[in-house]
Amino acid sequence: MESPAEFTKIESIFVRHRNALLVRGQFTPLYTDYYLHLLQHAIRHAAELDQMLKDALAVLALHLVARPWAETLAWTVNLRVPRLNLFVTGGSLTEAVTGRIFTEDVREPEHNFFYSQTTTLDGAEPSLSTMEVTGTDPVRWLSRYYEQSEQRPARAFRLGDEHFALVAAQPDCELAWLAALDETAVCGIEIREETTLLETRRFRFHCGCSLERILPILGGWKNRPDELFHDASSITIQCPRCAARFSVTRAMLTTIPEPERPAPRP
């Protein structure tokens, strides 16, 4: 089952005189792909966890549009209650976000922690950021992330009907105006303020994983299959990024290429 090629359009809008960036999108197309993915791989989440993951995908996409194109972002949130790891990742160049929830074998942290990794195309070392968060609302997490890691205020909003928005301060932003915004004010920004559309990007829920890409993870068991399969003829493995499920047989294990060994030094 293939997901439809539908994208969520996300607009980046400059609010003149307030010196703020408004990023907004309607996420029904992206959520449609997400639910088709869950159906295809027989994945079921409790309603609270499902909403948390969907919200995280939305605010990640908004943040990506507020950032340079050539970045890939990955967020992991380790929560005490409910005890889980939430993972989302994406990039503008791939026009995709994906993610999953881990509920098994999750360590219990002393506090809720949010981990962010930013990778660029220039080959530089990834940028890492860690912060403590409260609650289970990704919309609040994003505002907190800007305060600590972006060194500028920003506020994320859930606007109803699967619309989300991010308003981020730019140099000389009118901070009192930003702090006073609520959902109604954000919906009416283009009516009350002078605005300029800067760019439009698009996103879908898509991982790009496949059995061929994931199979090498099992390379360590190639020469000891009984430890992996025991009495079974096949096992199921999951993609670490999106939880897609793939069936692996003993015969498939033999097709994994041997790792390349470094050439001996002269």
Q: pLDDT (tens digit, 9 = 90+) per residue, 190-225?
A: 999 999 999 999 999 999 999 999 888 888 888 888
Residue-wise pLDDT tens digits, 11-56: 999 999 999 999 999 999 999 999 999 999 999 999 999 999 999 9
Q: Is the pLDDT of residue 4 over 60?
A: no
The structure's pTM equals: 0.91
The mean pLDDT of 221-236, rounded to a whole number, is 88
Written as one string, the DSSP assignment of the chain is: -PPP---EEEEEEEETTTTEEEEEEE-HHHHHHHHHHHHHTT----HHHHHHHHHHHHHHHHHHHTS-TTEEEEEEEEETTTTEEEEEEEETTTTEEEEEEE-SS----SSEEEEEEEEETT-PPPEEEEEEE-SS-HHHHHHHHIIIIISS-EEEEEEETTEEEEEEE-TT--HHHHHH--HHHHHTHHHHS-EEEEEEEEEEE-----HHHHGGGGGGGTT-HHHHHTT-SEEEEE-TTT--EEEEEHHHHTTSPPPPPPPPP-
pLDDT value, residue 265: 60
- The one-letter code for the residue type at 69 is W
Residues of the chain with CATH 3.55.30.10: 8-205
pLDDT of residue 138: 97
Q: Who has greater pLDDT, 187 or 220?
A: 187
**Amino acid 3: pLDDT:** 46
Among 108-112, 136-140, 172-176, the least confident range: 108-112
Nearest to 131 by CA among 122, 140, 121: 140
pLDDT at 250 over 90: no
Q: What is the pLDDT of residue 225?
A: 87
Q: Are 220 and 228 in contact (CB under 8 A)?
A: no
Report the pLDDT value the prediction gives residue 262, as an integer from 0 to 100.
Answer: 58
Give the CATH fold of the 8-205 domain. Answer: Hsp33 domain (3.55.30)
**Does pLDDT of 231 surpass 90?**
no
Could you tell me how far CA 203 lies from the centroid of its own chain?
A: 11
Residue 134, pLDDT > 80, answer yes
Q: What pLDDT score does 2 carry?
A: 45
pLDDT-derived band at 150 (thresholds 50, 70, 90) equals confident
